[in-house]
Structure 1
Amino acid sequence: MLVHPRGEPHLSDPTRLVKGAGELFGEQLMQRYGLPDPVENSRVRSVADDEAIDLGNGMTLRSIWTPGHASHHLSYILEGTGVLFTGDAVGLRHPTFPASMPTTPPPSFNLDKAVESLRRLSELTIKRLCTPHFGTLDGAGELFQRNISALIDWRSKLDSFISRGLSVDQMASELIEKVCEGIGRSVADVPQYVRVSIRVSVLGFVGYLKWKSE
């Protein structure tokens, strides 16, 4: 398994990771995800930014450090193919809910770094995006810029929510309403996974804004 040095301890002992994720997402959603097993150290490889990984048969994977979503986040490009494995550098797209939403969870979300990472990815020649949430996309198009615009828009909205003294749950509810307005869908159509993800993203974004204001 390939991992940024900061994430390596979580593979050999995922206890803290599982505990933190469970507190954010809830036990029911964690069980649906499935819980990770520890990985033997011999199967873990720590990789740096812009490192070439020989996959054999003439294929090379190159690592791209893309902090923002998390400080240890990596994306990968399969050289010579234009296939980019984005990780969570790009937003969430649920199969049954046609909206692209930022994923900005605690504890280490950083808006400035997230935007910088998206700009870095946009400079690559991409033919296909492979995203974890969810699926593949042919060509990057304006996806990276749309993600940047969404992050900036969320910051503006959350600044307003904070000034109004809203709770995290109230902020999440208002964001859900705004997302639904943007795609012409009813709030009742929002999958539970998306609701939880938006609330978690609000927690991370608010934490970042408080850190910036200190």
Structure 2
Amino acid sequence: MTANVSDSGAGLVAPDTFVVDLREGGQAERTAGFLIRAPRPALIETGGRAGVQAWLEALEQQGVPRDEIAYIILTHIHLDHAAGAGTLARLLPRAQVVVHPRGARHLQDPTRLVQGARTIFGDRLESLFGLPEPVAAERMLTPEDGETLDLGDGHRLRFIGAGGHARHQYMILDEGTGALVTADEAGVRYPALCRRLGRDYLLPSTAPNQFDPELMLQSARRLPQLRPATMLLPHFAATSLSPEEIAERLEEQVPLFVACGQVDGRPAGPEETRRRLAEHIRRDAEAHGLDWAEVEPAVALDLDICAFGIADYLQRRAQGKT
């Protein structure tokens, strides 16, 4: 199979920056990685087992030798973004793995990361992501919020803490090009639905077990202040929405998502939250002119993930643990 390198799969999306379809669970246009062709080349996001193969194909297609990759950068350590990090680190021998300080120990020992993911994905975990290999501590860099990494030729990456989706998450701004990799803080776009509509359709990503709606909205309000020239979403690729439009969409939808997890002021639990969230998304999609028969399969996995995250957040809040 040839690596998918197109405007939605692996084409030029910013100067020297290419998007690669990481084929999460064999699904196209689900999870994206980004290659920055600078004097010290970097790839952002590894995906899982399928993502490793997609990256190797993309590097060959782009004519980038494996031993020239300087950095493997992770926006956060959820398995759809990072399960392939240890494998790619083994296959790209000179690359350092760049990860949030809160995530480093879980790359060294992925046991708890896998256990947490298995509560959501169950037996689907291996087919979706594979199992992560450990990353040696000496291969890792752990920049703090606001620190930068110079790739050369003006590609200076600034790491911006963004803890609404997960506390171990960065957004990454290329100060030379203005391209902002939003991590999962700016939500999920669905390319097939976007093509159907003729404009972007985006939903928040409220994954367990560190979802924090207030921090997510803080990040949303920060997007216009960063003034990105391009916004790149790991789910999926470049968005046509402006920072202001994404901020407005999240300000509207995040509170509504959280409300789906409450019945009479009490946490509803994952199953009821999923039912209520599906109904909310159905109404929202139909208000945008979409057919639920097309939307439901596109958002099914995210419904599971988001419902778990909302239920977990509300349970933590009820216990005073947020």
TM-score by length of 2: 0.60
Instruction: Rate the CA distance shift 1:119–1:41 in 2: closer, same or farther, 3 A.
Output: same
Which residue is equivalent to 1:108? 210
| Equivalent position of 1:198 in the other structure | 303
What SS class does the counterpart of residue 184 from structure 2 fall into? helix
Which 4+ residue blocks in structure 1 deviate beyond 6 angstroms?
Answer: none
For structure 1, the residue ranges without an aligned partner over 5 or more in a row are none
2:157 paired with 1:55: no
What's the counterpart of residue 189 of structure 1? 294
* Pairwise CA distance, 1:70: 0.7
Are the aligned partners of 1:65 and 1:75 in contact in 2 as well (CA < 8 Å)? Answer: yes
Q: Which residue is equivalent to 1:9?
A: 105
Question: For the residues of structure 2 that align with 1:163 and 1:41, how far apart are their CA atoms?
Answer: 43
Residue 182 (structure 1) shift: 2.8
The superposition leaves residues 110-138 of structure 1 with CA deviations (integer Å, 9 ceiling, x where unpaired) of 11111111212221111101110001125
Higher relative contact order (CA 8 A, sep 6+): 1
Q: Which structure carries more helix by proportion?
A: 1
Residue 91 of structure 1 aligns with which residue?
A: 187
Distance, in Å, in 1 between the alignment partners of 2:267 and 2:106 is 38
1:70 & 1:61 partners in 2: Cα distance?
A: 20
Quote how far apart the aligned CAs of 1:61 are: 0.6
Matches within 5 A, 1:130-145: 130-138=232-240, 139-145=242-248
Higher mean displacement: 197-206 or 134-143: 134-143
CA contact under 8 A between 1:12 and 1:39: conserved in structure 2? yes
Paired position in structure 2 for 1:117: 219
State the partner residue of 2:252: 149
Partners in 2 of 1:33 and 1:94 — Cα distance?
20
Consecutive unaligned residues of structure 2, counting only runs of 5 or more, are: 1-96, 195-200
Q: CA deviation at 1:164?
A: 10
The answer (yes or no) to whether the contact 1:101–1:150 under 8 Å persists in 2 is yes
Deviations 1:56-94 (A, max 9, x none): 333211100010101111111001311101111111112
- Contact kept? 1:171, 1:202, Cα under 8 Å: no
Across the aligned residues of Structure 1 and Structure 2, the Cα RMSD in angstroms comes to: 2.5
Name the % identity.
Answer: 33
**TM-score when scaled to structure 1?**
0.87
Shift of the 128–197 alpha-carbon distance from structure 1 to 2, 3 Å rule, reads same
Q: Which moved more, 1:33-42 or 1:45-54?
A: 33-42
Measured after TM superposition, the shift of residue 14 of structure 1 is 1.9
Question: Is 1:171 equivalent to 2:171 in the alignment?
Answer: no
8 Å contact kept, 1:121–1:144: yes
CA offsets 1:152-195 (integer angstroms, 9 cap, x no match): 22233443586696723422432342243233333322354621
Letter paired with 2:111? T
Cα distance in 1 for partners of 2:296, 2:172 equals 29
Alignment coverage as a number of residue pairs: 214
